[in-house]
Chain A
């Protein structure tokens, strides 16, 4: 059983790290701000989500697991808001130009 859980953790965290890497590459390589923002929010959303998912079986108690999920939800809230605000700031700038 523990081997299965370990495998699950390695897989999920590994996949999460991949999304972080992809998000970083997107941030560095994508041509315009909106695409870069798109790449970045995927890292926050899927990357952190998968890392948290992988760590849940390792949490010391159900409460600790719940805290991990709350952490992910709060990052979601923050990153979605920031993406919206940067997006609307970009649009305002385009309207001016």
Chain B
């Protein structure tokens, strides 16, 4: 067994252990901590699979943003009351059987994959030059399957609308609750002051290099979102009123610009969601810039939750 194989086995074992820990943890906070560690180690596994783009997304979204979402949700829920009656043996057995069935089907599907596995990677590489991009992952996301990516951004906007929609009528248009206590830790305020400008530069850079190297709109947007969140947690700024025009415009800018570019396709390039040949890269970066904006705005709004103050304030 080579050193790297040993590392892979160790990683897989720890990830499985953390997954078990996430499920079996008694308290929500412990479960979230295990889940965040699980996500970070999963990111390392993606690096080992030579998928740095996925690794960045897993670390930023799967571990970072989801971790914050889960922790803020558990804080908002408070300590969970124990159920009146523990689940019966039949329910437990049923849940176990269903889980085993799903895991079994997935395992069978993976084990019976044809060898070599079907792949479109050579095709994606062959046409990379036409997009003007150097990163095949970005080409797949924004050029080859651009319609799907546009719809994914619509889903993000719908998620924010879903969170807002649970607000009581009298708070509609108001602002969500502040993300931190009234007197935040001074160390956190210091961190927010120092880190936010640096993080903003790194986020934009990650989007910009995403055209040719690992990175992209989602990863860059997630970092910008994290910076906005940390500044709100340090109470250097407050969550905006959900009725504010700039906020809603920023939310829909990504899918909106994407859709407009797609609709311009038949005129400019002869087909829906086609980009003009020779001019594809500028169009792609233009779309991505607005997607970064929408992602950076929507993720913190998901964490901030529904408005809970009157719109007048």
**Measuring CB to CB, which residues of chain A are less than 8 angstroms from any residue of chain B?**
74, 77-78, 80-81, 84-85, 88
Contacts and interface: CB of A to CB of B under 8 A. Distances in A.
Given A81-B187, A81-B188, A85-B185, 4 more contacts: A74-B198, A77-B194, A85-B187, A88-B187
B50 interface: no
19 contacts: A74-B195, A74-B198, A77-B191, A77-B194, A77-B195, A78-B191, A78-B195, A80-B187, A81-B187, A81-B188, A81-B190, A81-B191, A84-B185, A84-B187, A85-B185, A85-B187, A85-B188, A88-B185, A88-B187
- Dominant secondary structure at the B interface: helix
Nearest to B195: A77
A81 B188 CA distance: 6
A72 to B, nearest CB: 13
B126 to A, nearest CB: 28
Contacts of B191: 77-78, 81
B96 to A, nearest CB: 33
A81 B185 CA distance: 10
Contacts of A80: 187
Contacts, number: 19
Nearest to B190: A81
A28 B187 CA distance: 26
A85 B185 CA distance: 7
Contacts of B198: 74
Interface string B151-162: 000000000000
B292 to A, nearest CB: 21
Nearest to A81: B191
By CB atoms of chain B within 10 A, which of A77, A81, A85 has the most? A81
By CB atoms of chain A within 10 A, which of B187, B194, B195 has the most? B187
Interface in B171-206: 185, 187-188, 190-191, 194-195, 198
By CB atoms of chain B within 10 A, which of A78, A80, A84 has the most? A84
Nearest to B184: A85
Contacts of B188: 81, 85
Nearest to A80: B187
Contacts of A85: 185, 187-188
A14 to B, nearest CB: 15
A14 B129 CA distance: 43
Contacts of B187: 80-81, 84-85, 88
Nearest to A83: B187
A85 B194 CA distance: 16
A48 to B, nearest CB: 15
B257 to A, nearest CB: 31
A10 B81 CA distance: 54
Contacts of A81: 187-188, 190-191
Contacts of B194: 77
A77 B191 CA distance: 7
Contacts of A84: 185, 187
Contacts of A74: 195, 198
A84 B187 CA distance: 6
A84 B194 CA distance: 15
A79 to B, nearest CB: 11
Interface string B63-79: 00000000000000000
